[in-house]
């Protein structure tokens, strides 16, 4: 796992000043005249991602300035300082002034996330600059958060040839060993004996056996159960996806990757919760024993489900896991899944939509998202749409016809399997389609930093 770190403090760290266009004069006026004149002569404007090295008399690096962009640019982007940090030449730097506390923390976390690289299969050029943790930020906490995010990225970026259900189990076991947690796994035909019929049905056609991963940590505090969709590759099953739609399906375990990253943050920070992580890990493959359109499956909860599209498999495996989670009556169940294209149509790839019936929890998530630059958006559990998931020949339909409200009907389907515990569902994308500050193209965590920030309010910690 890539683990980003701040540089060790050192007295000769190079001063680094961050400023926006309105703050240029104040920032430059604090510098020696020669450096001020150099900055002005080079046209430094404080634009987003700008970076300018200020030389000393010997031609070395005396200081550097990076731009934060206009107020409008800051509304339209986040972690903007990270782009400037990426452009710095080799050296160890310290942010000396120019940022308010919230912006300073965002810049520091942005540095850690910008330094991420996925180098399992090819050498990746590391970030040249090292940054000393700025005064006033909780460096250890930020390093833990960044490590959790990088775990999520690593898991999603790994192709299915090396990230099947067995490999996902291995990642969970490694995480458990790190934090002194326990893991129990139910695999293959044992899923039928243990009454996880829909997890088994979705994964039975694959060479690598389906499984339910159950990680637990902590014996005191409120009970928090995270459920992550672990479809390690999704062909669509017998309703096979076209090639263009199958190209990113290594990321269909992004929900599992997200909850494992969040679990690392929770355990490493020592939050006083009884944490449980449930991951139904499968491959949705094509074979003679694959589940079929028009099959009717009986779930762990006893609800019957008519299969109208084998490519709507994520909600099936989550349903059995959610029913199992609910039997323990936790104080909160939160699921995360790369579940529907409809969610992407609604809010695009950058926002993590969530569903909850709890207005106070929704408010806590919205407030937390703004504080940690991790955007989320509440979507409705719209009860009048319940009829859309009731096919008549079975209790539920896994793929209602018509194409309307696909994210909502999927969330309503999942809610049917939770009755004893408060429930929140995140329909994430898990992928950064183009590089952005602190977010290279590839796997990305969504909603996890927001959840971590909101947990004290959500769980009463």
Give the pLDDT confidence score for residue 98 in this predicted structure. Answer: 66
Question: How buried is 17 (Cβ within 10 angstroms: 0-12 exposed, 13-18 middle, 19+ buried)?
Answer: buried
C-alpha closest to that of 237 among 210, 262, 264: 210
Q: Tell me the C-alpha distance between 408 and 412, whole Å.
A: 6
Backbone torsion region of residue 79, taken as left when φ is above 0, otherwise alpha when ψ lies between -120 and 50, otherwise beta: left
The CATH-assigned architecture of domain 14-137 is 3-Layer(aba) Sandwich (3.40)
Kindly state the tokens that stand for 116. 């991420």
Tell the residue number behind the tokens 């067995």, with chain if given. Answer: 166
Q: The pTM is what?
A: 0.97
Beta bridge partners of 18: 66
Q: Tell me the C-alpha distance between 201 and 61, whole Å.
A: 62
Active-site annotation holds for 40: no
**Positions in the chain short of pLDDT 50:** none
Which residues lie below 8 Å from residue 175, measured CB to CB, with a gap of 6+? 151, 181, 215, 260, 263, 264, 267
Give the pLDDT confidence score for residue 26 in this predicted structure. Answer: 86
Cβ atoms within 10 Å, residue 97: 15
Give the pLDDT confidence score for residue 113 in this predicted structure. Answer: 98
Give the pLDDT confidence score for residue 1 in this predicted structure. Answer: 75
Find out whether 390 and 453 touch, Cβ atoms under 8 Å. Answer: no
Give the pLDDT confidence score for residue 59 in this predicted structure. Answer: 86
Q: Residue by residue, what is the 3-state secondary structure of the chain?
A: CCCCCCECCCCCCEEEEEECHHHHHHHHCCCCHHHHHHHHHCCCCCCCCCEEEEECCCCCEEEEEEECCCHHHHHHCCCHHHHHHHHCCCEEEEEEECCCHHHHHHHHHHHHHHCCCCCCCCCCCCCCEEEECCCCCCHHHHHHHHHHHHHHHHHHHCCCCCCCHHHHHHHHHHHHHHHCCEEEEEECCHHHHCCCHHHHHHHCCCCCCCEEEEEEECCCCCEEEEEECEEEEECCCCCCCCHHHHCCHHHHHHHHHHHHHHHHHHHHHCCCCEEEEEEEEEEECCCCCCCCCCCEEECCCCCEEECCCCCCCHHHHHHHHHHHHHCCCCCEEEEEECCCHHHHHHHCCCCEEEEECCHHHHHHHHHHHHHHCCCEEEECCCHHHHHHHCCCCCCEECCCCCCCCHHHHHHHHHHCCCCCCCEEEEECCCEECCCECCECCEECCCCHHHHHHHHHHHHCC
Marked catalytic residue, from 86, 315, 344, 439: 315
The sign of the torsion formed by the CA atoms of 383, 387, 388, 391 equals: positive
Give the pLDDT confidence score for residue 28 in this predicted structure. Answer: 84
C-alpha closest to that of 156 among 324, 366, 352, 1: 1
Cβ atoms within 10 Å, residue 434: 8
Indicate the domain borders of the chain.
14-137, 144-459
Tell the residue number behind the tokens 């050498």, with chain if given. Answer: 123
Active-site annotation holds for 315: yes
Q: Tell me the C-alpha distance between 157 and 248, whole Å.
A: 10
Burial readout 119-148 (b: 16 or more C-beta within 10 A, e: otherwise): eeeeeeeebebbbbbbeebebeebbbbbbb
Query: Looking at the domain 144-459, which fold is it?
Result: Aminopeptidase (3.40.630)
Marked catalytic residue, from 97, 117, 241, 378: 241
């Amino acid at each position: 796992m890539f683990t980003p770190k701040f540089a060790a403090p050192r007295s000769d760290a190079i001063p680094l000043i961050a400023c926006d266009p309105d703050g240029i004069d104040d920032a430059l006026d604090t510098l020696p005249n020669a450096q001020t004149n150099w900055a002005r002569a080079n046209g430094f404007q404080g634009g987003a991602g700008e970076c300018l090295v200020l030389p000393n008399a010997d031609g070395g690096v005396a200081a550097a300035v990076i731009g934060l962009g206009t107020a409008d640019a800051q509304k339209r982007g986040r972690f903007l300082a990270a782009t400037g940090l990426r452009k710095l030449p080799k050296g160890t730097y310290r942010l000396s002034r120019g940022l308010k506390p919230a912006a300073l923390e965002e810049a520091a976390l942005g540095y850690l996330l910008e330094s991420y690289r996925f180098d399992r299969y090819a050498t990746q050029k590391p970030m040249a600059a090292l940054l000393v943790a700025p005064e006033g930020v909780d460096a250890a906490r930020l390093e833990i958060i960044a490590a959790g995010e990088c775990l999520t990225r690593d898991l999603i970026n790994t192709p299915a040839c090396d990230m099947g259900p067995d490999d996902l189990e291995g990642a969970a076991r490694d995480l458990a060993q790190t934090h002194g947690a326990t893991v129990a796994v139910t695999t293959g035909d044992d899923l039928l004996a243990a009454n996880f019929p829909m997890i088994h049905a979705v994964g039975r056609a694959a060479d690598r056996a389906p499984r339910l991963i159950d990680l637990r940590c902590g014996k005191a505090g409120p009970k928090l159960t995270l459920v992550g969709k672990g479809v390690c590759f999704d062909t669509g099953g017998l309703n096979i996806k076209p090639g263009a739609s199958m190209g990113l399906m290594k990321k269909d375990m992004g929900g599992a990757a997200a909850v494992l990253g969040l679990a690392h943050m929770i355990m490493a920070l020592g939050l006083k919760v009884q944490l449980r992580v449930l991951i139904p890990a499968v491959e949705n493959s094509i074979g003679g024993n694959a589940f079929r359109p028009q099959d009717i499956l009986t779930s762990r909860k006893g609800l019957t489900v008519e299969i109208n599209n084998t490519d709507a498999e994520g909600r099936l495996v989550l349903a059995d896991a959610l029913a199992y989670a609910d039997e323990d009556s936790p104080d909160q169940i939160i699921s995360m899944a790369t579940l529907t294209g409809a969610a992407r149509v609604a809010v695009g790839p950058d926002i993590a939509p969530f569903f909850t019936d709890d207005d106070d929890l929704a408010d806590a998530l919205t407030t937390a998202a703004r504080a940690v630059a991790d955007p989320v958006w509440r979507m409705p559990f719209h009860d009048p749409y319940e009829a859309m998931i009731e096919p008549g020949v079975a209790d539920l339909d896994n793929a209602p016809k018509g194409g309307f409200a696909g994210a909502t009907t999927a969330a309503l389907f999942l809610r049917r399997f939770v009755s004893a515990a408060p429930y929140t569902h995140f329909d994430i994308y898990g992928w950064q389609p183009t590089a952005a500050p602190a977010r290279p193209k590839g796997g990305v965590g969504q909603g996890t930093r927001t959840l971590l920030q909101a947990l004290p309010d959500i769980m009463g910690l």
